[in-house]
Chains A and B, each alone.
Chain A
Amino acid sequence: MSGDPILSVDRLSMRFGGIVAVNDLSFDAERRKITALIGPNGAGKTTVFNCITGFYKPTSGAMRLTHDDGHAIQLQRLNDFRIAKLARVARTFQNIRLFPGMTALENLMVAQHNALMRASGLTFLGLIGAPSWRNAEQAAIDLSRTWLDRIGLLDRADDAAGNLPYGDQRRLEIARAMCTQPALLCLDEPAAGLNARESAALSELLLSIRSEEGTSILLIEHDMSVVMEISDHVVVMDYGVKIAEGTPRHIRDDPKVIAAYLGADEEEAIAVMESGT
């Protein structure tokens, strides 16, 4: 595929001792598109995510992120928090990692840490209550309020995040990632544990993020209904290598994918893949 990729992963490999979790993987994620990374359990999807978001240092390979202004960043050279801060790659986690003892609003405020730190003059302006800081804080609260409204949690803004129902926590985590104003949003199984209605709402939210915010999305997902409905491009992994990529329709009919995804039982695989349409 050609065009304007926001992220190009080039021959990425990740080894843990003798185990090769990701082997020579290359793919592109298009700008302002939703790219899905799918594959059976243990295919190495989350490892790819951890490499992209700096939680792992890849054994070899390159990941280039190109911002809208053409500025390119080699992600494998940044580490830790810098990928989120400088490259503006935000992520969510497979097992939700909110700040459970803080309110929904506070969770979104923490996400705006770097912008607010600058506005508070590295705390000193904030400590004396400078007007510029107060304006910045109000703007941050307004942004949080907008996102709480978008995910339908405005009424529960002052509730502890740990007290929210599971589906709400999933959406709050996405909103928190969006509050960092990312260029690329990486979602690790956002639909896991959601019921059909919540999944549908999630699809809608992700589509609106793509169209309204212009944020590119990379997601890992097992829920085929979500993948088939919203992705523009699908990359299929198995045993650490890419076995196929293309449009959802193309992927659905690929016999290699069907075989890998659900073992040899092709008929069952077809049934599952079709249920997602």
Chain B
Amino acid sequence: MSAPPAAQTSRAPGAAFILKKALISAFVALVLFSLMIGVRTEAGPQGQLIYWTRFGDLAAMVAAVFGGSIIVELLRQWWGPVGTVRIVPPSVQTTLAVARRGIAPVLLVFTFLVPVLFYDERYILDLAILVLTYVMLGWGLNVVVGLAGLLDLGYVAFYAVGAYSYALLATNFGLSFWICLPLAGILAAFWGVLLGFPVLRLRGDYLAIVTLAFGEIIRLVLINWQTLTGGPNGVTGIPRPTLFGIPLTPADDGLAALLGIEFSPTHRIVFLFYIILALALLTNWVTIRLRRLPLGRAWEALREDEVACRALGINTTTTKLTAFATGAMFGGIAGAFFATRQGFISPESFTFHESALVLAIVVLGGMGSQLGVALAALAMIGGFELFRGLDQYRMLVFGMAMVLLMIWRPRGLIGHRAPTVFLKSNQAISSDLVKEGHG
């Protein structure tokens, strides 16, 4: 991989260009902030409107945007134009390649050790479970968006179907978690196929809108079908998972009593941690496996060129449906886990925000890359918690980090694609050749 040597210099804009760009940004900021920051209004003691101006703050804000815009532009030049590979010495490249290959096993071992390392820190364990749930959701959505190239904005619908499947089956019929887990997956996959049928003809933006609506429909049904779902009150008293029928409770037949150790609520947390870790790894294993099977290869071919797929005799309809169903199944299983972890679910947990978050994880990670999605979930969920100390500026910092990331890595953290089969050498394919799909 070598970049054309002229790429660095050919598109280096001059100072005038940077200044012009910064001025435009500053002007936009001025228009935006003049009312948001420049003027402050409040209701007076007699209910009259009082307002005062804060031109100092406004000026500071506009100056910050001006300066920031220059810095971003300079950083961009320093990194080289988007889409070209910076010339790196081969020795550094091989070191990076080794590091890249090593990162997945290291992360895996570390993840296995998390409950050991942080046994006493409940907060970290809870956060780790949350991150792993999103890793699993990301890997599930990755099948639909990353591999098959179908933009799905309603992924949370399947998460909800899985969660409610388990909650209702367990509370109404007393089925155990381990029986409900595959059932939740199957039910979610069924809904995935159901959604798939009408939207198969749609592409791109249209597909995105219909899936978005589907997510909302599921949520509204959950709110309004009070007799079944309990409406906004949700479902309470969802049973916790057991270890081969042994509950993790302080009771006499609990695991702690059987093992003769002192009961601690952390046991259950650690148990949940390993359940979600196993489920996430199962998702990963199945996806990696599927990619090397004709079905997975057809998904990727579909993303690359649907017309060519049809000319090769590939049934694009069933191929798309299987992608939807597979993605939905993993979403449903993750949903069942979510329900058993929370012990309580309500429609509030399944808003569009969740779909957007999972989609952001997939896009940020690099569409189609398993490791990228895992890293993105860690950054999005873990990183978000990291900024908790920043209080109200948390969202701001987070948004800024995402903007910067998209400037430098427009195709996600790991943008290149690994071939599914090779004769001699397994070389990654540069992201600018790989298509994103259009529905």
Contacts and interface: CB of A to CB of B under 8 A. Distances in A.
Contacts of B311: 53, 55, 84, 90-91, 93, 97, 177
Given A90-B312, A127-B286, A163-B433, A97 B305 contact: yes
A49 to B, nearest CB: 11
Interface stretch (B169-177, B182-190, B414-422): B414-422
Contacts of A123: 290, 293-295, 322
Contact of B419 (A85, A103, A113, A177): A103
Interface stretch (B16-24, B201-209, B374-382, B423-431): B423-431
Interface in B384-437: 417, 419-427, 429-430, 433-435
B420 to A, nearest CB: 6
A116 B87 CA distance: 41
Contacts of A82: 313
B358 interface: no
A102 interface: yes
A116 B424 CA distance: 22
Contacts of A112: 294
Interface stretch (A1-9, A64-72, A154-162, A242-250): A154-162
A160 B430 contact: yes
A42 interface: no
B111 interface: no
A80 interface: yes
A209 interface: no
Given A81-B310, A123-B293, A100 B304 contact: yes
Contact of A84 (B298, B312, B427): B312
A81 B293 contact: no
B40 interface: no
A176 interface: yes
Interface string A235-255: 000000000000000000000
A99 interface: yes
B316 interface: yes
B297 interface: yes
Contacts of A109: 294, 297, 420-421
Counting chain B CB atoms within 10 Å of each CB, which of A83, A102, A157 scores highest? A102
Contacts of A143: none
A131 interface: no
Contact of A113 (B286, B312, B322, B434): B312
Contacts of B422: 103, 105, 157-158
A215 interface: no
A53 B310 CA distance: 10
Given A109-B421, A110-B297, A101 B435 contact: yes
A102 B313 contact: no
Interface in B279-328: 286, 289-290, 293-295, 297-298, 300-301, 304-305, 307-316, 322
A100 B429 CA distance: 10
Interface of B: 286, 289-290, 293-295, 297-298, 300-301, 304-305, 307-316, 322, 417, 419-427, 429-430, 433-435
A113 B311 CA distance: 12
B298 A113 contact: yes
A231 interface: no
B148 to A, nearest CB: 13
A166 to B, nearest CB: 15
B172 to A, nearest CB: 31
A91 B312 CA distance: 8
Contacts of B289: 126-127
Most buried by A among B294, B316, B427: B294
A6 B423 CA distance: 36
B314 A101 contact: no
B203 to A, nearest CB: 16
A93 B294 CA distance: 23
A158 B293 contact: no
A110 B298 contact: yes
B297 A113 contact: yes
Nearest to A82: B313
Nearest to A126: B293
B297 A100 contact: no
B304 A81 contact: no
Contacts of B322: 123
A98 B305 contact: yes
Contacts of B305: 97-99
Contact of B435 (A85, A100, A154, A163): A100
